[in-house]
Amino acid sequence: MPEAAAALKWGVERRLEFIEFRLYWEGGVNRSDIIGAFDVSVPQASKDLTLYQERAPQNAIYDKSAKRYIASNEFQPCFLKPDAGQYLNQLRSVAEGILAPSESWIAHSPPYAGPPVPARGVNNDTLRTMLAAIRQNQAVEIKYQSLSSDDPRWRWIAPHAIGFDGFRWHTRAFCEVSRSFKDFLLSRIIEVRSTRPSEASPEDDADWNELITLEIGPHPELSESQKRIIALDYGMRGGRAQIQVRKALRYYALRRLGLDTPLEARRPQDQQIVLLREPASG
């Protein structure tokens, strides 16, 4: 923890982190920003700004004409660990309605657009039941529609985790029909009938508990300059990058990276990356 952030109550430190977020990402902050984000009084917001100046005197300058504090040229984060990925995820979450604007620290969102993601019909009661079963180590009797059957069928499952493949939410569970751990799409659970104590242990789900490492690199048929660009895109070092994933999610990870089809099926400029070696235990 930075020295400036030492010995502060959590609520105070959180507001100072917010001040620094606005200074770092948006260039400035004022009292009304703090009041709106934390529902504190005017005197408290003023006190927070004063405390921030005391703890990080080189970071903010008061602009009388704008009536706000602006980031100085000597600005160095003291309370915040800036993370571009977190900022962009927050931006996307607000734009896609996942996060309410009032719950975001971003005040002035840049114009944003992304590919549409189809809404998945996860029933509230279904999710609530799965979460309770996970907490209480219960088995649940569900009516499930799989693609391998024309009609839905009842089965007992013992869920122990929630997963996401980039498009769809599922529960990782022990299936009493197949006697194995499988993924069940939450949107395909039509009805829940009853629960009982589970006899399955999450520790027995070897594929879920094992971490593997996917090692990727630029497509070998790209030019050297193109390879350098791809290396920058994926944060590669020495022409390779390692991505750790649960073994149970390996298929989803490869599909999302475009590595689930033969290399010859796509142009190098479209494929861009290749799997350098088979996943190893992480």
Q: Does domain 124-204 have CATH number 1.10.575?
A: no
Strand pairing category for 211-218 and 189-197:
unpaired
Local structure of 194: helix, strand or coil:
strand
Q: Which fold has domain 10-103?
A: Arc Repressor Mutant, subunit A (1.10.10)
Structure-token pair, residue 246: 């649960």
> What whole-number distance in Å separates Cα of residue 51 and Cα of residue 8?
11
> What whole-number distance in Å separates Cα of residue 138 and Cα of residue 253?
29
User: DSSP letter at 84?
Assistant: H
> What whole-number distance in Å separates Cα of residue 218 and Cα of residue 220?
6
> What whole-number distance in Å separates Cα of residue 174 and Cα of residue 156?
8
User: DSSP letter at 55?
Assistant: H
Per-residue pLDDT of the chain (282 residues; tens, 9 = 90+): 455 555 678 899 999 999 999 999 999 999 999 999 999 999 999 999 999 999 999 999 999 999 999 999 999 999 999 999 999 999 999 988 889 998 999 999 898 888 776 666 789 899 999 999 999 999 999 999 998 888 999 999 999 999 998 888 999 999 999 999 999 999 999 999 999 999 999 999 999 999 999 999 999 999 999 999 999 999 999 999 999 999 999 999 999 999 988 888 889 999 999 999 766 554
Q: Backbone phi, then psi, for 147, in 5-degree steps? A: -75, -15
Structural domain spans, the chain: 10-103, 124-204, 210-277
